[in-house]
Structure 1
């Protein structure tokens, strides 16, 4: 969940943070430290939360809450909202599910939800970390929703997050089976349609994926396997560069990439 000590504000409807919901914080820190070289500091949300740092800059949050909340181990993408209650109501009205919240966390409120296809995501009402932006600095390279119908997903998220083409909101670009979401001239998310049921791992269903940029995909894969992770998809080259998808020790899914934007 976003760090409560933050003081900045994100454009509403844009990704504002990513958090690993894990059941073993110490093990997760060891794993991601080995794979990415991250260091960690205590989070401001209390015991069981930490912030991953790369070069001293915040990358993501880790929360030891998967078991207590009754949710699966996963990387969860959070979107900034003005009113968590309003967005939660919109989720339900449009066929989605609200699993947790709105829940007071630090100086903000968080919600865990799922879209009509079952992809989990979160949203956050409150301040966010200043300077943290997808595709910039130490933040993840990009977020990507892999789902069966990108157009239907774009309508759902567009309606709940007010993705509309105006300066203080997101720009949405439709092209074939891919929907690109941009803010301030930067790509912040992609929604990609296709036959998810044909994925290499049958357990991979519609979901938001977090892409982490690395200098060498092969070395990152080797480090992940040595640290106890598993390989979901072999390193391959897409139109944005080489990438590979992995699971951490507890099953948390993520992708490493050489690309800079989806």
Structure 2
């Protein structure tokens, strides 16, 4: 069970959170789906709560930031210097929606848009270091973006985070990104009927079981379960229209 309780290296997708229109209902849905419990939710932090899996934080959930915003998941990238990263975002043609904001002693957050209008966040950790459990059922396993212009997106994210790219054989224009070690996520083109922008993928013990649970709760299946070399994969939409993916990881030998 991979765990981490220190700050993630700069450029790593380090945290995810959900902007909810119906806080209690969304908490119940995701708790039932992934076996989460919730901590926090204090007024001091605007009702923001952390999802815990076996005592370790795996995601966040809070109210929508802007009136009329749709419920959605946000991917946050680790940064050692939020102000400097904001400068690179602007220099590369992106837009900063929420300027660096200190969240008490927890850390500093930023919300930005890439030049194609896709939202992402930055997190400069303090006491809150981001995801503590990952790559196991009920936790984050992958982050990827679907964009209209993959070459332009690669240039932008390279300028901001220093990413290196590795093409995936037979999956062009899809490529993984990293900063010199293992791949940290992926980026590819937009597919008809599937979400654009950054999406999050959760590891699950049974993709088909989760698909059935989502449909039973009023959600939708955007991409039916498919076996891949990485595991059994599906793209879903929760009852409020927010997309996310699930992956049943292959059994370890």
TM-score, length-scaled by structure 1: 0.81
Given candidates 226, 240, 251, the residue that maps to 1:250 is 240
Q: Say whether 1:52 aligns with 2:51.
A: yes
1:219 is displaced (CA, Å) by 0.8
**Kept after mapping to 2: 8 A contact 1:132/1:139:** no
Poorly superposed stretches of 4+, deviation over 4 Å: none
Cα offsets for 1:89-110 (capped at 9, x unmatched): 2222222221122222223221
Provide the rounded CA distance (Å) in 1 between the counterparts of 2:24 and 2:133.
Answer: 26
1:28 is displaced (CA, Å) by 0.8
Which position in structure 2 is the counterpart of 1:123?
122
Which position in structure 2 is the counterpart of 1:38?
36
Provide the rounded CA distance (Å) in 1 between the counterparts of 2:116 and 2:212.
Answer: 33
Gaps of 5+ in 1: 1-5, 164-170
Cα offsets for 1:130-189 (capped at 9, x unmatched): 7736536864011111123333322211111233xxxxxxx5424442322236743321
Which position in structure 2 is the counterpart of 1:109?
108
TM-score, length-scaled by structure 2: 0.84
Provide the rounded CA distance (Å) in 2 between the counterparts of 1:35 and 1:7.
Answer: 24
Given candidates 178, 183, 187, the residue that maps to 1:187 is 183
Which position in structure 2 is the counterpart of 1:199?
192
Deviates more, 1:42-51 or 1:110-119: 42-51
Gaps of 5+ in 2: none
30 and 188 in structure 1: CA distance in 2 versus 1, 3 angstrom threshold: same
1:217 is displaced (CA, Å) by 0.9
Which position in structure 2 is the counterpart of 1:166?
none
Cα offsets for 1:36-67 (capped at 9, x unmatched): 12111115762411111222221101112344
Q: The residue matched to 1:118 in structure 2 has which SS? A: coil
